[in-house]
Amino acid sequence: MKKLMSAVLAGAMMLSLAACGSTADTTQSTSGSEAATGETTASATPIKLGGIGPVTGGNAQYGTAVQNGEQLAVDEINAAAGYTVFELQFEDDESDPETAVNAYNALKDWGMQVLLGAVTSDPSLNVASECVNDNMFMLTPSASAEDVALTGPNVFQMCFTDPNQGKTSAQYIADNNLGTNIGIIYDSSDPYSTGIYTAFVATAGELGLNIVAQPSFTADNKSDLSTQVAQCQDAGADLVFLPIYYNEASQILIAANSRGYTPTFFGCDGMDGILGVEGFDTSLANGLMMLCPFSAFGDDETTTTFVSAYEAAFDSTPNQFAADAYDCVYAIYQCVQDGTINGDMSASDMCDALVEAFGTMSFSGTTGENQTWDENGMISKEPKVYQIQDDAYVLVGEE
Amino acid sequence: MALTRLKHMKKTTRSNLITFGIVIVFYLVVEALMAGGLTSSSFEGQLVPICAYVVLAISLNLTVGFLGELSLGHAGFMSVGAFAGVLLWTVLGKTLPAYVALPLAFLAGGLVAGIFGVIVGVPVLRLSGDYLAIVTLAFGEIIKNIINACYLGYDENGLHFSLTDAASMGLAPDGTTLINGAMGITRITKASTFTMGIALVLITLVVILNLIHSRTGRAVMAIRDNEIAAQSVGVDLTRYKLTAFVISAVFAGFAGVLYALNYSSLVARRFDYNTSIQILVFVVLGGMGNIRGSIIAAALLTVLPEMLRGMDDYRMLIYAIVLIVMMIFNQSPQIVAWRKRVAARFTRKKGAPAPQKEVA
């Protein structure tokens, strides 16, 4: 009996704690926005932005970056305008396609008018088809699978598509003669990695690049990647292409270092963040090249403002996930300033207006100047190649 | 009249009718609420997954609760069923009318899952011990990795298949890719509805409840209670074990098709070890060997994480606490005895004597 009582009491305590936590959060944010509204008379119905991404689970690092980026942009815009332009509600999807649809429905119940998500590819595919059904405008910061944008006319991407990255990387490597014997290490269980890999191999074939080794790993056996590194070394690869995320890439760099293997490493936008990996000797990343739209070390005004604000707010350096998410909000804000959309429009009307606007507009943000979207909703922006030198990104070709 | 007949009915029949009643009443109430526009889209979106999980929990209960064997690869059967059903649906859905193509898709899903059930079951169920748990665990992982590496497409020259990458499939430029490796099947025409889900739940209930109360079911339960005793009276162990296990796999395949046709994309990663454990949690918390418990547990535990969305970061914590509390409430001997005492207090008024305190 005593045990039962203690269990019930413990449960009740947890519940009340949890309740306290969440109420405190909401009151804080509402009072903040009320204060902002109170200060000026100029106000309009706020536009409800929904965000979906993994803030728990294995991919939480990406979802959290996107959530932070979107929150930062919304706060900045609201503060600058003097009234609540945007309200942001971010829902967790644990990077699970089923939970993502649940999150989408929860946001719909909340009254979402524009969706800025989801973050990872599988959830985005499911959510995109819901958006097409409901005629809800969807702009994903980071879901780069080609099929996401191809789901429908109202689905747009802020990031490069995977095939585009693979193609551009191969083109760049061929144009600059970075390597004669190329090795590729990729994650065959990941759509991002296989998407880039497939396009890279196809373009490399057309350009006559010599691929000597292409070992792969899967999400289930990535704890030791030294075999894959050894395969590339034994095949004599002088350039290793890594279309993977930074955590696995850091292991590959460590494995290569311990074997005394020093090829040129070339990665894609998933590599951004490698300098922030905990316990990783960043000097190993010296010379690593990557195709990435964003650099936290950029010196243009948009980037420096964003990076310093982000560092002040979240105590960490933003990566391209955060930058793409930040740009998503500003791209929508550009349409608000144009008068294309306002908070009184229904989600469906807003979607039609935004689809038309995104077809013609040009947007400049932290991830590039004069970005435009094609009729499929895929973005076109200038690809940049950075090289890591002494814990900083240096734009290749600028010096 | 009807009421007295209900009273004189066999206890199991009455219990079964109550189970059917719960499902039908749930269906009617939800349909009425939906017609009145009183449900949120969040709730509506979860109806089909609930039905799929209920079918999965009932079918796994047959293996775990009635056969007494532990299966840790139920998601694997769900996966092969889902992929088979969706492939058939994408190919036939364009040419055949939906009322022909859909049942065919379900049949294909069940059939393929059943075939895999036989393949896994024949060697393993001849043994006694925990071998089924080990083999099904491996089966689930193998299926996930094979489908993840599987590329399938067709063009005018026929089917193309590869286990390395999309390019080595050798598909003509105008060919159609069906399974694209790690990207799975995309752009599925969604077809699952709540009515379909409830129909599948009812079919599952009819088949499995009847099976349990048939000669086969009694043989299966005899094996669970004492294998040697069952063998000594002439029960063919392998045959009955296999029957129960394969039927369980077939319904997992049906549930997989229902689940997959509710979304526009399908990836094998979704059906991993965690999903198998999730289904096992439904069964264990609902009570092993208790079909009605499985239904309620599956429905509640599917909805719960979504109901806790407002709690933000505390969601996971509370979900875990709920699992533990439910487990204690259902299984702990002291609590079970306490529940009986409380129940007795209500029935004592009718003249029943106070029960003796149970020794756990």
Summarised one tens digit per residue, pLDDT across range B27-63 is: 999 999 999 999 999 999 999 999 999 999 999 999 9
Asked if residue B135 is part of any domain, the answer here is yes
Nearest CA in chain B to A126: B264
- ipTM, interface predicted TM-score of the complex: 0.91
Contact B183 A3 (CB under 8 A): no
Structure-model confidence comparison of residues B5 and A122, the more confident one: A122
Token couple for B191? 């077809």
Element containing residue A61 per DSSP (H, E): helix A60-81
Domain spanning A43-160+301-380 has what CATH number? 3.40.50.2300
Q: For residue B345, is it within any domain?
A: no
pLDDT value at position A117? 87
How distant is the Cα of A54 from the closest Cα of chain B, in angstroms? 12
pLDDT one-digit tens code per residue, B300-312:
999 999 998 888 7
pLDDT score, position A6: 54
Q: Any idea where the domains of chain A sit in the sequence?
A: 43-160+301-380, 163-292
Q: Is residue B142 part of a domain?
A: yes
> Mind telling me how many Å the CA of A146 is from chain B's nearest CA?
10
Residue B347: pLDDT band with limits 50, 70, 90? confident
The residue range of the domain holding B83 is 14-273
What one-character-per-residue DSSP string does A232-292 give? HHHTT-SEEEE-S-HHHHHHHHHHHHHTT---EEEE-GGGTTGGG-TT--GGGGTT-EEE-
pLDDT at B315 (0 to 100): 81
- Cα A360–chain centre separation: 24
Q: What is the pLDDT of residue B314?
A: 84
CA pair distance A295, A309, nearest whole angstrom: 15
Q: In chain A, positions 140-199, which contact chain B (CB-CB < 8 Å)?
A: 145, 147, 151, 188-191, 193-195, 197-198
Mean predicted confidence (pLDDT) in A318-336: 95
Q: Round to whole Å and give the CA distance between B285 and B293.
A: 8
Q: What is the mean pLDDT of residues B179-205?
A: 94
Q: pLDDT tens digits, residue range A91-131?
A: 999 999 999 999 999 999 999 999 998 999 999 999 999 99
**Residue at B298 is within a domain:** no
**In terms of C-beta density within 10 A (0-12 exposed, 13-18 middle, 19 or more buried), how is residue A171 classed?**
middle
pLDDT of residue A25: 40
Confidence of residue B169 (pLDDT cuts 50, 70, 90): confident
> How does the average pLDDT of chain B come out, rounded?
91
B341 assigned to some structural domain: no
The mean pLDDT of chain A is 88
pLDDT higher than threshold 90 for residue A23: no
Residue B8: the pLDDT is 75
Residues 6+ apart with CB under 8 A from B232: none
List CB contacts (< 8 A) between A197 and chain B. Answer: 165
When pLDDT is cut at 50, 70 and 90, the band that residue B330 belongs to is confident
Query: Which is more confident, B254 or B6?
Result: B254
DSSP code of residue B15: H
Provide CB contacts within 8 A for A173, sequence distance 6+: A179, A182, A204, A209, A239, A241, A266
Q: Which of A205, A260, A210, A269 is nearest to A242 (CA)?
A: A269
Alpha-carbon distance A96 to A220, whole Å? Answer: 17
Answer with the residue of higher pLDDT: A299 or B3.
Answer: A299
| CA A399 vs CA A268, A269, A272, A356, B72: distances in Å | 21, 22, 21, 40, 58
Residue A97 touches chain B, beta carbons under 8 Å = yes
Which amino acid, A365? G
Flag whether B350 is in a domain. Answer: no
Pairing status of strand A289-291 against strand A385-389: antiparallel
The answer on pLDDT for B355 being more than 70 is: no
Listed residue (A335, A338, A311) closest to A323, CA to CA: A311
Give how many domains chain B has, as a whole number: 1
Q: Quick one: tokens of B135? A: 């083999």
- pLDDT-based confidence at A27, cuts 50/70/90? very low
Residue carrying structure tokens 């206890």:
B11
Average pLDDT, integer, range B129-142: 94
Residue A164: strand, helix, or coil: helix
Mind listing the pLDDT tens digit for each residue in B205-216? 999 999 999 999
Instruction: Indicate if the pLDDT at residue A374 is higher than 50.
Output: yes
The tokens for A328 are: 């998503």
Mutate: best of A13, A109, A115, A197, partner B, most B CBs <10 A: A109
pLDDT for A7: 52
Q: Which of B265, B272, B336 to mutate to test the interface with A (most CBs of A within 10 A)?
A: B265
Mean pLDDT within B94-100: 92
Say if residues A295 and A303 touch (Cβ distance below 8 Å).
Answer: yes
Tell me which CATH homologous superfamily contains domain A163-292.
Response regulator (3.40.50.2300)
